[in-house]
């Protein structure tokens, strides 16, 4: 059997795939956080809850309305994104003139309320969401077994990242977003409706989180607390990558997933902390993050 | 002093594009403008002169609703704008060029040029603009802030010309630029005047502004303290220099 540094190739590749899939989630979520932070300057602590809402909406939509996975993948980000726009319009906007720390506190409070409400109704044990039939099973690649659904998650998440990159870097609306991130007051003086741009941007970031949530539903138990544990890691990823770079958020997300996966192979005890170790190193030597601009 | 009235009797045929009356502006607790009154007629080029801190930039920002709070009246082409949202004001046909130029680093030159939404259909075409500023065409794929200071200033001007704005508010456009660039800007402003643009110029470089302007307004302590027409300028030059402290 082929070995890599004393580990069977199949085990190595299996953990690498797992790492990439986790990394794809980190990428999607840190991307949304970075987009929101760029324009609103708010650290969106509700991002984990919004990811969880995506998974929950898929679960409940299937249970009570018969909405299948594919439809959920399109509908849920739109619905949760619209919910995000309401939050921005009627809560975040009211405090936008205050220190941005208030935005952090408000979104943190929202996350607790959303989670608490769902715990009240559904408990914390978590429910299973069935993998869509065509994506069940896996492929035997000879050197490893590749579960179809994980391969799909990787493809779908990367496609969404690419779509987001294209929207921001190559379209007129994206140019508004980039310019607004730099100087929103001047954009307003050019006649751009910045408040509307902010609402749409927040909705888009929340929609990305919900999309990740639907992708995650068949992989992990769907429970009200599934987002909060993930969010802490995603914040570390954002700190490592640095705010303000779309490409940086995607690459850092994937890389951290892989580093975490490989740590599981070679030193499993450190798997849960390795990302934070990287974060500390990055903060010591490059405080603006790997892809961030020095302030 | 009511400068608006005295001028109206001189040139009643010209429509007022900007009429500012008793304008007060505040940033938080600080009261910056203390009752500014002036008007600008269609096709005129006027300057706002004065020492640093006299309130000239704040006057432009107040017109764009970029300050904390305003009272008084700001009529643009017959529309009261005091209670308009900031993003509705440019749509009356105003282009604003901020003192710091406001070129976006994350956009290339071409994107910077296309960024401001058009406010009227008869703006300059991209071809016209690139003909007026050939350097910008050569560097259209460079990030905006990689340009030289002069090129950035050209870009800041060019992008508001494309929008079709007919009223231009230009804040310190010659600041820190080489004489050859300042000369080019003077040519550009002359061409814009010929096209019938209405221009308000906040300027330190009086030698640049003097031959271009129809009227000069001198500001001090957040008020207009003097109005000097181009015709009166030669006889008032020394008086003006003493007011500006040059």
pLDDT digits (tens, 9 = 90+) for B43-73: 999 999 998 889 999 999 999 999 989 999 9
Residue A174 contacts B where some CB pair is shorter than 8 Å = no
Using CB atoms and an 8 Å cut-off, which of residues 10-29 of chain B contact chain A?
none
Between A175, A189, A194, which is nearest B90 by CB?
A189
**A176: closest chain B residue by CA:** B115
The per-residue pLDDT for B79 is 92
Structure-block tokens of residue A293: 């601009």
Q: Do B115 and A190 touch (CB under 8 A)?
A: yes
Say how far apart CA A277 and CA A270 lie, in whole Å. 9
Cα distances from A194 to residues A73, A122, A225, B88, B162, in angstroms, run 29, 39, 34, 11, 20
HEC sequence for chain A:
CCEECCEEHHHHHHHHHHHHHHHHHHHHHHHHHHHHHHHHCCCCCCHHHHHHHHHHHHHHHHHHHCCCHHHHHHHHHHHHHHHHHHHHHHHHHHHCCCCHHHHHHHHHHHHHHHHHHHHHHHCCCCECCCCCHHHCCEEECCCCEEEHHHHHHHHHHHHHHHHHHHHHHHCHHHHHHHHHHHCHHHHHHCCCCHHHHHHHHHHHHHHHHHHHHHHHCCCCCECCCHHHHHHHHHHHHHHHHCCCCHHHHHHHHHHHHHHHHHHHHHCHHHCCCHHHHHHHHHHHHCCCCCCCCCC
Mean pLDDT for B157-161 is: 92
The per-residue pLDDT for B246 is 63
DSSP state of B237: H
Say how far apart CA B228 and CA B235 lie, in whole Å. 10
The per-residue pLDDT for A83 is 96
Residue A6 contacts B where some CB pair is shorter than 8 Å = no
DSSP state of B145: G
Residues in chain A closer than 8 A to B96 (CB atoms): 189-190
Check pLDDT > 90 for residue B6: no
Check pLDDT > 90 for residue B202: yes
Q: Do A189 and B119 touch (CB under 8 A)?
A: no
Q: Do B106 and A179 touch (CB under 8 A)?
A: yes
**B163: closest chain A residue by CA:** A190
Residues in chain A closer than 8 A to B116 (CB atoms): 190-192
Could you tell me how many residues make up chain B? 246
Give B97→chain A minimum CA distance, Å: 9
Reported as a pLDDT band with limits 50, 70 and 90, residue B244 is confident
Q: Do A179 and B66 touch (CB under 8 A)?
A: no
Mean pLDDT for B130-152 is: 90
**B144: closest chain A residue by CA:** A179
Residues in chain B closer than 8 A to A178 (CB atoms): 104, 106-107
Residues in chain B closer than 8 A to A190 (CB atoms): 90, 96, 115-117, 160, 163
Residues in chain B closer than 8 A to A179 (CB atoms): 104, 106-107, 115
The per-residue pLDDT for A189 is 93
Q: Do A178 and B114 touch (CB under 8 A)?
A: no
Q: Do B104 and A192 touch (CB under 8 A)?
A: no
The per-residue pLDDT for A269 is 87
Burial of residue B246 (number of CB atoms within 10 Å: 0-12, 13-18, 19+): exposed
The per-residue pLDDT for B12 is 46
Burial of residue B241 (number of CB atoms within 10 Å: 0-12, 13-18, 19+): exposed
Give B6→chain A minimum CA distance, Å: 32
The per-residue pLDDT for A294 is 57
Answer whether B44's CB lies under 8 Å from B36's CB.
no
Tens of pLDDT, residue by residue, chain A (295 residues): 677 777 788 888 888 888 999 999 999 999 999 899 888 888 999 999 999 999 999 999 998 999 999 999 999 999 999 999 999 999 999 998 888 899 999 999 999 999 999 999 988 888 888 888 888 888 877 777 888 899 999 999 999 999 999 999 899 899 999 899 889 999 999 999 999 999 999 999 999 999 999 999 999 999 999 999 899 999 999 989 887 678 888 999 999 999 999 998 888 888 889 999 999 999 999 888 888 765 4
Say how far apart CA B161 and CA B66 lie, in whole Å. 21
* Model pTM score: 0.87
The per-residue pLDDT for A1 is 61
Mean pLDDT for B229-244 is: 84
Interface residue of B104, B120, B152, B160 to substitute, partner A, most A CBs within 10 Å = B104
Query: CB under 8 Å to A105, separation ≥6 — which residues?
Result: none
The per-residue pLDDT for B69 is 92
Give A116→chain B minimum CA distance, Å: 39
Reported as a pLDDT band with limits 50, 70 and 90, residue B5 is very low
Query: Which residue, B166, B206, B165, B209, is CA-closest to B185?
Result: B209
**B90: closest chain A residue by CA:** A191
Answer whether A181's CB lies under 8 Å from A243's CB.
no
Say how far apart CA B169 and CA A223 lie, in whole Å. 56
The per-residue pLDDT for A47 is 96
């Amino acid at each position: 059997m082929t070995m890599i540094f004393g580990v069977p190739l199949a085990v190595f590749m299996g953990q690498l795939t797992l790492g990439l899939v986790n990394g794809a989630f980190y990428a999607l979520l840190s991307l949304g956080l970075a987009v929101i932070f760029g324009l609103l300057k708010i650290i969106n602590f509700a991002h984990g809850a919004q990811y969880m809402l995506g998974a929950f909406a898929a679960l409940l939509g299937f249970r009570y309305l018969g909405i299948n996975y594919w439809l959920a993948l399109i509908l849920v980000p739109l619905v949760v994104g619209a919910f995000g726009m309401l939050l921005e319009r009627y809560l975040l906007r009211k405090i936008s003139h205050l220190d941005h720390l208030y935005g952090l506190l408000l979104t943190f409070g929202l996350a607790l309320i959303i989670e608490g409400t769902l715990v009240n109704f559904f408990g914390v044990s978590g429910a299973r969401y069935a993998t869509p039939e065509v994506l069940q099973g896996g492929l035997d690649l000879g050197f490893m077994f590749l579960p179809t659904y994980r391969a799909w998650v990787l493809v779908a998440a990367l496609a969404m990242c690419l779509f987001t990159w294209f929207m921001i870097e190559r379209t007129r609306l994206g140019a508004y977003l980039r310019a607004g991130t730099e100087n929103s007051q001047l954009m307003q003086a050019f006649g751009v409706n910045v408040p509307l741009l902010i609402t749409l941007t927040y909705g888009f970031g929340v929609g990305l989180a919900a999309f990740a949530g639907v992708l995650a539903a068949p992989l992990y138990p769907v429970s009200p607390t599934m987002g909060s544990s993930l969010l802490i890691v995603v914040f570390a990823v954002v700190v490592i990558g640095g705010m303000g770079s779309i490409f940086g958020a995607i690459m850092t997300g994937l890389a951290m997933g892989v580093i975490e996966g490989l740590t599981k192979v070679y030193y499993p005890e450190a798997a849960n902390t390795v990302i934070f170790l990287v974060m500390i190193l990055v903060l010591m030597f490059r405080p603006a993050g790997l892809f961030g601009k020095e302030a | 002093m009511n400068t608006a009235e005295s001028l109206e009797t001189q040139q009643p045929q010209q429509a007022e594009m900007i009429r500012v009356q008793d304008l007060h502006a505040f940033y938080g607790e600080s009261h910056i403008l203390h009752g500014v009154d002036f008007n600008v007629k269609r096709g005129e080029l006027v300057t706002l002169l004065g020492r640093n801190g006299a309130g000239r930039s704040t006057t432009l920002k107040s017109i764009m609703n970029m300050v904390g709070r305003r009272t008084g009246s700001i009529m643009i082409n017959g529309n009261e704008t005091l209670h308009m949202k900031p993003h509705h004001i440019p749509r009356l046909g105003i282009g604003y060029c901020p003192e710091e130029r406001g070129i976006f680093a994350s956009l290339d030159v071409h994107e910077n040029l296309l960024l401001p939404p058009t406010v009227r259909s008869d703006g300059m075409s991209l071809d016209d603009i690139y003909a007026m500023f050939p350097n910008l065409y050569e560097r259209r794929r460079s990030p905006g802030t990689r340009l030289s200071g002069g090129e950035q200033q050209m870009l800041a001007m060019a992008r508001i010309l494309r929008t079709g704005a007919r009223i231009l508010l230009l804040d310190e456009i010659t600041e820190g630029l080489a004489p050859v660039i300042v000369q080019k800007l003077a040519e550009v402003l002359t061409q814009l005047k010929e096209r019938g643009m209405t221009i308000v110029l906040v300027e330190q470089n009086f030698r640049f502004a003097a031959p271009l302007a129809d009227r000069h307004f001198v500001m001090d302590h957040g008020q207009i303290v003097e109005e000097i027409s181009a015709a009166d300028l030669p006889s008032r030059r020394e008086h003006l220099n003493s007011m500006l402290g040059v």
